[in-house]
Amino acid sequence: MTSEEQKGIGSDRIRGSSAVNVDLLECPICHGLLWIPIACQRCETSFCSACINRWLAANPRKCPNRCKIYIERKCPSFIVKLLAQLQLSCYYQSRGCEQVIPYEALETHESECDYQPQQCPGCRLEVLKKDFDNHTSGCAAIELTCQECKLVYKRVDAATTHTENICLREQTKENIRQIRQLTLQLHEMRLLLPSITKARITFNDLPMADEKSNFIPDMYRGLEWNNIYYIQRLHLEKNLLKNVHVPSLTASNSPHVALFSGKASISAENVNGIFTFISLTVYGAWNDNMQLLITGHRNSILVSKYTTVVLWCKPQLILLNWRDIDKVILQPLRGTRHPENGATIGRTHVVLAQVTIR
């Protein structure tokens, strides 16, 4: 909401000599100058948009001038032309702004004005926009985050809270946490290995694809595949990845890989079907540093969620082991075009080298 919508524009803000009859430009509700005006079709009285909307919220379909029914219309053109002749002082004049702005440019100026107040996130003081960066760069109450150890501390406490020894200790804690997490994942993978070997889908039993992509058939492996297609691995590497060989990270040398772009999904065959989504292996086909959002659903309810960053031509094994779900949705987002991929534009295509479902 602009300052005008909050406070209204007083006629005392008009600058310069003007032959305009200000009484014609007064909103009958707030008694300030009309701002983004609209009018009643019956009586042709103009109101500030914000003023009449607040009025109608309390008095549905009733005009302030007691017309039978309020019907909105555009503000009369002569009112618009009169308003366009006005030159106004900035709302932040009391804070030091000396600009005089045409009526039509007022909203843009005030949204960018260097004299508007902003609250410092550290000390909570109001600081002028033009001084904000300088203030926050030295404010003792600002919270800082160490990029090495991720410790959050106030600038004033740096000498005691974030010493070199503390930083190293926090880094050690984080490293230990990551090692434990990786150890647990490795242990879980070993337990799941027999199941993974039997349930892995590498698309090697699909009909041989031609040079163009083919959609994965309905009910392939007893699952519904939506917006997922497959292509020959050699064709992908030769024509799209500029002869970059990408290992499949699977035991079989499948001639195919699957791809998807935009929202894709894998669903159970029937309404009451459920499965365990164990893992998938993915990499970017064109874009680099893509976010991949993976969600698991049961009876149309979100039950699991995982987000990762997908890199160009760098296969990533993602272990999830989501049990008792009936649908998985895959959604790639953003990313940047990799300079070595040979594509003219960056696209959010993700290669699905394998998926393990039991």
Give me the domains of the chain, ranges plus CATH numbers. 3-89 (3.30.40.10), 202-357 (2.60.120.1350)
Contact 184, 204 (CB under 8 A): no
Q: Backbone phi, then psi, for 13, in 5-degree steps?
A: -90, -5
Strands (E), 41-156: 46-48, 72-74, 87-89, 100-102, 117-119, 126-128, 143-145, 152-154
Half-sphere CA count of 125, side-chain side, radius 13 A? 11
DSSP single-letter state for residue 168: H
How much is the pLDDT for 344? 46
Contact 341, 242 (CB under 8 A): yes
| pTM assigned to the model | 0.48
Place of tokens 């600038």: 155
Contact 74, 39 (CB under 8 A): yes
Pairing of strands 336-337, 223-232: unpaired
How much is the pLDDT for 218? 81
| DSSP letters for 225-243 | EEEEEEEEHHHIIIIISTT
How much is the pLDDT for 20? 83
Helix (H, G, I), strand (E, B) or coil at 181: helix
Contact 335, 346 (CB under 8 A): yes
Contact 64, 54 (CB under 8 A): no
Residues 6+ apart with CB under 8 A from 148: 167, 171
Share the mean pLDDT of the chain.
86
How much is the pLDDT for 246? 54
The residues of the chain scoring below 50 in pLDDT are 1, 243, 248-251, 344
CA separation for the pair 161, 156 (Å, rounded): 9
Handedness of CA 41, 46, 50, 55 (dihedral sign): negative
Helix (H, G, I), strand (E, B) or coil at 52: helix
Residues 6+ apart with CB under 8 A from 66: none
Contacts 24+ apart (CB under 8 A), 206-215: 206/230, 206/256, 208/232, 208/255, 209/235, 209/256, 211/235, 211/239, 213/259
How much is the pLDDT for 181? 84
Q: Is residue 84 classed exposed, middle or buried when 0-12, 13-18 and 19+ CB atoms within 10 A define those classes? A: exposed
Query: Which of 208, 263, 225 minimizes the C-alpha distance to 355?
Result: 225
Contact 100, 88 (CB under 8 A): yes
CA separation for the pair 160, 52 (Å, rounded): 57
How much is the pLDDT for 197? 57
How much is the pLDDT for 250? 43
> How many CB atoms are closer than 10 A to CB 291?
14
